[in-house]
Amino acid sequence: MEGESSIGSRRVVQAAFLANSLIAVLKFTVAALTGSTALLAEGFHSLADTANQLFLLIGLRLSTRPPDLKHPFGYGKEGYFWAFVVSISILVVGATFSIYEGVQKALHPTPLAYEGWAYLVLLLSGAFEFYTWRAALKELGPSIRKQGVLGAIRESKAPAIFIVFLEDTSAMMGLFIAFWGILLSNLLDSPLFDGVASVIIGALLAAVALLVSYETRSLLIGEGISREDLQKIRRAIASVPEVQEVMEILTMHLAPDDVLVNLNINFADGLTTDQVEEAIDKVERAVQQALPSVKRIFVEAESLKKAAPARGPSPTPPGE
């Protein structure tokens, strides 16, 4: 069954895909009509966003495949891989083409035409982008209120949501830049401002691409849970009477709703093997109750290690 973050991610990405598909068509059509490079840059921006949402949907789909012999921990990291592909798409399709077209317009300025259509498309695009931006903000809202925008992005384990949030935020900023580029070109009768706006939009997209690549790379390599969730696990383990000391906690997100936990615990001295096994069961239940996203737990019991020499001089190490 999909977790809440996976369902929320899919809903946000689908809304963004539909909105950006329509916006891209509108921008390219009116850019051809008006000759605006800034609007053309925004067209590439929306085209990159549309492709990105398709990549994210592919990742969300593939990540739900069940574990098999080759991938015993499942395919949850597919979502992280395709999110990393998104960063490359933003950089190549969005940033590179926007900067190139802006430089060409600055070197070979051509006057704009039918500017009213450009303003209309910018207004409609802004309305669509704001709608999908609010959907992503709703998912990230609790984290943003606690940690701020950058903190929420760093701590988020659902890249599809923060990517849509970043894309739509940069899209609204890009629309604002394009508006001023077109307006200044008209008021000052200089198409140069239209080209400059395109370059600025490209630089904005490059910055977003670098941020997305940094965050998704961290998840792809193997990122642990947040400090807050780590404290939940510590408190859950401490609630088990047989636990004397938590030696080590290792965690890794295999997917937004799939966490792997490896524990090294020193249980109270004098426990029998059966009692240690019962204590381990208690620890697993406590951890999963405190953090439902934990799907796999491996416990190494220190008390059994200490008890090993008392079992005799046999060279064969005792099994747990």
pLDDT at 5 over 80: no
Report the C-alpha gap between 127 and 132 in whole angstroms.
9
Of 169, 183, 291, 292, the closest CA to residue 230 belongs to: 291
Domains in the chain, ordered, with CATH? 4-222 (1.20.1510.10), 227-311 (3.30.70.1350)
Report the C-alpha gap between 181 and 196 in whole angstroms.
7
For 294, counting Cβ atoms within 10 Å of its Cβ (0-12 exposed, 13-18 middle, 19+ buried), the class is buried
The whole-number average pLDDT for the span 260-274 is: 90
Q: Confidence band (pLDDT; 50, 70, 90) for 243?
A: very high
pLDDT at 127 over 60: yes
The whole-number average pLDDT for the span 116-127 is: 88
The whole-number average pLDDT for the span 157-171 is: 87
How confident is the prediction for the chain on average, in pLDDT?
85
Of 232, 212, 75, 223, the closest CA to residue 157 belongs to: 223
pLDDT value for 306:
52
pLDDT value for 292:
92
pLDDT value for 305:
52
pLDDT value for 309:
44
pLDDT value for 7:
64
**Most confident among 141-145, 258-262, 302-306 (mean pLDDT):** 258-262
pLDDT at 304 over 50: yes
pLDDT value for 39:
86
pLDDT at 139 over 50: yes
Question: Which tens digits make up the pLDDT trace of 165-207?
Answer: 998 899 899 999 999 998 998 888 888 898 899 999 999 989 9
Report the C-alpha gap between 287 and 260 in whole angstroms.
11
Report the C-alpha gap between 283 and 231 in whole angstroms.
14
**Do the Cβ atoms of 41 and 201 come closer than 8 Å?**
yes
Question: Which tens digits make up the pLDDT trace of 26-75?
Answer: 889 988 888 888 888 888 888 888 888 899 899 988 988 989 999 999 89
pLDDT value for 230:
93
Q: Which of 95-99, 169-173, 305-309 has the lowest mean pLDDT?
A: 305-309
Q: What pTM did the predictor assign?
A: 0.76
pLDDT value for 153:
86
**Do the Cβ atoms of 203 and 95 come closer than 8 Å?**
yes
Q: Confidence band (pLDDT; 50, 70, 90) for 320?
A: very low
**Do the Cβ atoms of 125 and 100 come closer than 8 Å?**
no
Q: DSSP letter string over 183-211?
A: HHHHHTT-THHHHHHHHHHHHHHHHHHHH
pLDDT at 303 over 90: no
Question: Which tens digits make up the pLDDT trace of 247-266?
Answer: 999 999 998 889 999 999 99
Which is more confident, 317 or 14? Answer: 14
